[in-house]
Amino acid sequence: MTSQVIIGNWKMNGLVADARTLARAVADGVSSDTGPRVVVCPSFVHLSTVAAELSGSAVALGAQDCHHEGRGAFTGDISAPMLADIGVRYVILGHSERRAGHQELDEMVRQKAVAAASAGLVPVVCVGETQDQRAAGQARDVIGYQIEGSLPQDFAGIVAYEPVWAIGTGQSASIDDIADMMAFIRAELARQFGEGGKTMQILYGGSVTPRDASAILRVAEVGGALVGGASLKPESFLDIVRASAGD
């Protein structure tokens, strides 16, 4: 059985000292024999600092985005080879905040996934529906189209499902909601990618907390979690890691 993956997305939070302290606490709290693979994704400016703190630990370094080109006149952007060069192993792509705030379309996400894989990174591609799309009964159509448009045909990375309607809205996805969408995503991956789609890892990323992590991580087809706010507090994040390990 493939180990679950627990990814902490720190988003745009903290200064250097905060990143150093948080990385050290997570590295100290994750032993080499822990069941899940653990990844933390700080902001670009903190990657080197966090890489130094994670050195020799069981925690992998991830980034929150990358450009689809390997180099060039793209002011303010970061390429996948640049990330790989400083020890990054995973990269989050197509996050709902990037899709909404930066108008990233499926085609752009797909190009980034190709670039990430070419640089030796594991792309973690996010998909998810908004409240309006869900209310209109379009959730499955939206997710299906996002999978088709955002994942290249030879995709060998990770898919993360984000119920955008349940993130920071006061609403929450029930276990039945999660199980239903996970089953659909698995079926859609198998339909679009054949045998490879049957084993592709799917993470859940809808405001996971220590309180609900154990139940969520036991849902069929859930291969781990993409953790936002709870990843900024070492003990909360480590509680989620322990829930994945069955502790």
Nearest C-alpha neighbor of 157 from the set 225, 218, 203: 203
Identify the active-site residue in 95, 97, 104, 188.
95
Q: Which residue has the tokens 């309607």?
A: 165
| 168 labelled ligand-binding | yes
Nearest C-alpha neighbor of 59 from the set 90, 84, 15, 14: 90
User: Distances from the Cα of 1 to the Cαs of 41, 203, 220, in angstroms?
Assistant: 25, 15, 13
> Residue 69 has which token pair?
């080109």
Identify the active-site residue in 53, 97, 129, 162.
162
CA distance linking residue 175 with residue 162, whole number of Å: 14
| 11 labelled ligand-binding | yes
CA distance linking residue 93 with residue 91, whole number of Å: 6
Cβ atoms < 10 Å from Cβ of 87: 15
Cα dihedral 13, 16, 21, 26 sign: positive
| 214 labelled ligand-binding | no
Classify residue 208 as exposed, middle or buried by CB count within 10 Å of its CB (0-12, 13-18, 19+). buried
Q: Is 235 tagged catalytic?
A: no
Residue type, 127: V
| 56 labelled ligand-binding | no
Q: Are 42 and 19 spatial neighbours (Cβ–Cβ below 8 Å)? A: yes
Q: Is 69 tagged catalytic?
A: no
CA distance linking residue 39 with residue 203, whole number of Å: 13
| 224 labelled ligand-binding | no
CA distance linking residue 10 with residue 198, whole number of Å: 30
Binding-site annotation, residues for substrate: 9-11, 168, 207, 228-229
Binding-site annotation, residues: 9-11, 168, 207, 228-229
Catalytic residues: 95, 162
